Amino acid sequence: MSASVKSLLSTLTARGPHQVLRGNLGIAGQPGVVYTPAKGLNLPAVAFGHGWLAGAGNYRRLLEHLASWGYVAAAPDTERGPIPSHLNLATDLLTTLDICAGVRLGVGDISVHPKKLALVGHGMGAGAAVIAASQREVAAVAALFPSPTAPSAEALAPNIDIPALILTGAEDKDSVSSNAIPLAAAWGEGTILRSLDRASHNGMVEGRRALAALGAGKHEPKTERLTRALLVGYLNYQVLGDKKYKPFADPEALIPHTQVVDPNAIDEEPEQPQKLPILQLVQALRK
């Protein structure tokens, strides 16, 4: 493990050099929030999809972190109920990108480059980001602790001709609430699947969770910090082309507290009877 990778990871864990401004996407007709550097032209932009029973407000630190590193980070605040439409959230992500790329932000001194766009999401929002990427070419996709969606993200992934970063928690990468492994296997070449040590899929969600009392998971500050650093490093290389950050897009690179997973080398284990998570039960009832 090179000292430079450790150094870069430490740097990216900290807040970036830019002052951050917060805005309301609703002014442009899309409920949601947008965080931007205080100024800058031809900036990169990220549209971020939230997880189940969460909203844009549960990812404030992640969005602010991206903005502090020079990204316009915007998140639609829709499909927050117990029976969300993943397809509608994907549509809202694309609308969010359109707003970022087509509207001068701030007082007119902030703009986005139309070729420097990325789709990112957490949980069901990760699946929505994949659905959106199947409909529009972007520079990169990052699926953070993805969970199953309808339509299936892994069914669409083989037709997406752009690279992806997929993160999963070591605690739950094999659970029925995670589709990180089949998604990575379906996406194929150019996709990196990294497992975060001692992390779970709900660890990066800030604030009180609606289902915390039912064991939906608690916030994990270390998971959140590491996820932010891995994401910015990956986007800096993939979207901005900054070669200094190539290790974050290199499946051979050793990055502290993470392990690269080969999705095609997972041993098949006998199927065990498992209780369906609440999300799957709700979706089953919906059909």
Following DSSP, what letter does each residue of 159-196 receive, concatenated? G--S-EEEEEETTTTTSTT--HHHHHHHH-TTEEEEEE
> Within 13 Å, how many C-alpha atoms sit on residue 175's CB side?
19
Q: Which helix or strand (DSSP H or E) is residue 46 part of?
A: strand 40-49
Q: How confident is the model at residue 280 (pLDDT cuts 50, 70, 90)?
A: low
What pLDDT digit, counting tens, does each position of 69-99 carry? 999 999 999 999 999 999 999 999 999 999 9
Q: Going by C-beta distance under 8 Å and a sequence separation of 6 or more, which residues neighbour residue 267?
A: none
What pLDDT digit, counting tens, does each position of 118-153 carry? 999 999 999 999 999 999 999 999 999 999 999 999
Domain boundaries, the chain: 3-286
Distances (CA, A) of 206 to 38, 210, 265: 24, 12, 33
Query: May I ask the CATH class of domain 3-286?
Result: alpha beta
Between CA 73 and CA 81 the distance in angstroms is 23
pTM for the full predicted model? 0.89
